[in-house]
Chain A
Amino acid sequence: MNTELIGVIATFIITIVIAIPFGKYIVKVFKGEKTILDFLIPVEKTIFRLCGIDSTKQMNWKQHLIALLSINILWFVYAFIMLLTQGSLFLNPDGNPSMSPDLSFNTAISFVVNCNLQHYSGETGLTYLTQLAVIAFLQFVSAATGIAALIVVFNAMKEKTTEGLGNFFDMFLKSITRILLPVSSIIALILVFNGTPASFAGKDTIHTLQGDTVQVSRGPAAGMIGIKHLGTNGGGWFGANSAHPLENPNYLTNMVEMIAQVLIPLALIFALGFYLNRKKMAYVIFGVMTIGMISFLIPTMIAETSGNPAITKMGIDQSGGSMEGKEVRFGASASAYWSVLTTIISTGSVNSMHDSSMPVSGTMQLLGMMTNAFYGGCGVGILNYYIFMIIAVFISGLMVGRTPEFLGRKIEAREMKIATMIALLHPFLILVGTAISSYMYTKDPSVGWLNNPGYHGFSEMLYEYTSSAANNGSGFEGLGDNNWFWNITTGFVLIIGRFLPIIGPVAIAGILARKKFIPESAGTLRTDTGTFGIMTYAVIMIIAALAFFPALVLGPLAEYFTLYHH
């Protein structure tokens, strides 16, 4: 076995080894049990006192959502104004300009919703102030929003009939103080000691060995890169994101960043098992998600390590894999693994350019975002999976001859209505968005959005909306997306694609929590079995993947067949 493959497998195993105890730790945090960070309790209490928040007050699901939406609106307004005026604010050593209104709109939303779609390039599009006070700030709070929403659902899944599902602000603040800040500090320090800049000194000018004069962008990047991965945000300090040698200096940092981005999504799955004392269910969910991940990973690995057949035809040595858009220090395998991870969880950071991936890999990246439930984003991944579980429970409940029940609560028309709507939303946003842009482009190709012709150009548009709807943030970056059309349309897709999939599961869980709890009997369909896992997997693949089949055929699959069979 080659060292590139071993590196990938080791990274995955290390992730699981860390994620299980970390999941236990998360449970302790939210159950209020003793943890090593309890010395922060006075700090948290002080913060709540200063804010006038009673953190012990229980909220029902509606109050949770109102609190969540209120604070998110505030962040959006703040971020929008900051980006619009950054050029004339302080901490701008490189003298970068303010953003246009449409770009500010898109960027503010993109970071509020944990997507981190970047229609700008970090080195020139932001100032140190906005990098830290807007981008990094939102990376913290948007991730904490996702975690808090998930804990609400966890509380609702408990075996008792209840209205009170915890306090939103309490769970939100603890997510930051106990989980995000400490762990991203560790990541940032590892990065710093491997060469990632952290100082406030601006651009450097150097004379190269060959005698050229080159400027080098730097900045206090390490801290942001820590939270960027840990919070499944993905928005990079530099334009090339984690392909940039300062953002991701070597194979060790690459492993750390890969582990960091999938750590919380994985830990939260295990946390579900510990929190509800349904460990078997957590393992089944983990199993299904891992099978989903691997089913995307294997084709990607094969495609990327085999190289571009069109280049093979030119007669050169492609044993190193398809290297366009990739970095030599990571190699084709680790880049392939990263591209799958970053699309199934909603990070969207990249260590290779997806636009230059092989068509099969592009298909898998798209499918990763279309399903959006294998591991998934920080907190929201399980929320998406929850919706699919509800649908799977409903169909399989019927199949065994019982009104469907999920964790002791009957699934009825109202819950199905919400679940169906949320499941429907994703294809709706992606397909309609891509349809409009295709129409616009066909009518007037002079808009010049596309960096590649033909099927691949279509994939660029499809990818952009898929990434927006999945709140992923990666892109086929060849797309010329910094213009009003893309900024505005993806902006709206981002908002809807973020908040409805949070509102839906929280509402369903909240409604179910109020229903009578029915203890399990021999006739109850257990949701912690392999069979049910397979059922859920089938539901995800059929709902999420099948709806996109025609679009995939016209994009990456047509490219694949053209490239490989002609």
Chain B
Amino acid sequence: MKTYILPSLKLSGILLIICSALYPLFIAAMALVAPGGGNGKKVFENDQVVGYDNIGQKFTNDDYFQGRPSAVNYNAAGSAGSNKGGSNSDYLTIVQARIDTFLVHNPGIKKSTIPSDLVTASGSGLDPHISVKGANIQVPRIAKLRKREEEVLYSLVKKCTEHPLLGVFGPERVNVLKLNLALNAL
């Protein structure tokens, strides 16, 4: 064993420099030419930073499209899911309460049309997206509060819908922050 200790030590030292210093510095250098310069892509409204394009934000006001429930309350200094099991009765009570709240805030919506992503917490707690159904179902409420034609909002949702990769891979979804920015811009 002794014969291998010193060479191992030296080899580890050299690899430490390569893997932990040179490698990340190389990536950081390359990132300078990437969108956001390796600091994450920011989103602006009137030249003001209002967030990162793929970090979800908390929207509690009824005149905004609202994102998904978050286990960390959209605090991006951390991230986590609820880690609740599907059979946990406390958890199911919470989901039931979210449905009830949603129905209160969105009168006239049929319960059977509420998509599950709106009442379940995301994995990261920072999910920037909701499903297209989840956006459309909020249109009547927002149209009423913002006094807009529902049709206008539906087409806004359609415009903001992110399509599957190359049109064939993955789900359709709507980025809530971008949708709300577009809503403000109307």
Contacts and interface: CB of A to CB of B under 8 A. Distances in A.
A and B touch in the complex (CB under 8 A): yes
B82 interface: yes
B122 A328 contact: yes
B153 interface: no
Interface residues of B, number: 107
A248 B69 CA distance: 20
Nearest to B164: A3
B169 A3 contact: yes
B45 interface: yes
Interface in B154-186: 162, 164-165, 167-173, 177, 180-181, 184
A200 interface: yes
A81 interface: no
A542 interface: no
Contacts of A215: 75-77
Nearest to B6: A52
Given A215-B77, A324-B82, A456-B87, A201 B55 contact: no
Contact of B60 (A210, A214, A315, A319): A210
A81 B128 CA distance: 38
Given A50-B10, A451-B84, A240 B112 contact: no
B145 interface: no
Nearest to A4: B171
A141 B15 contact: yes
Contacts, number: 393
A74 to B, nearest CB: 5
A173 interface: yes
A245 B23 CA distance: 23
Interface string A331-369: 100110000000000000011110111110000000000
A249 interface: yes
Contact of B30 (A51, A192, A311, A559): A192
Nearest to B89: A453
A529 interface: no
Contact of A217 (B41, B45, B78, B177): B78
B104 interface: no
B142 interface: no
A53 B11 contact: yes
B113 A317 contact: yes
B27 A136 contact: no
Interface of B: 1, 4-12, 14-16, 18-21, 23-24, 26-28, 30-31, 34-41, 45, 48-61, 64, 68, 74-92, 95-96, 99, 111-117, 119-131, 133-134, 162, 164-165, 167-173, 177, 180-181, 184
Interface of A: 3-4, 6-7, 10-11, 47, 50-53, 66-67, 69-71, 74-75, 78, 121, 123-124, 132-133, 136-137, 140-141, 169, 172-173, 176, 181, 184-185, 188-189, 192-193, 195-201, 203-204, 206-210, 212, 214-218, 220, 222-224, 226-227, 238-240, 243-246, 249-252, 254-255, 307-308, 310-311, 314-331, 334-335, 350-353, 355-359, 451-456, 459, 476-478, 559, 562-563
Given A52-B10, A218-B40, A357-B86, 17 more contacts: A67-B4, A70-B8, A193-B35, A199-B39, A200-B28, A214-B51, A327-B124, A327-B127, A331-B171, A356-B82, A356-B84, A359-B85, A359-B86, A452-B83, A453-B90, A559-B85, A559-B87
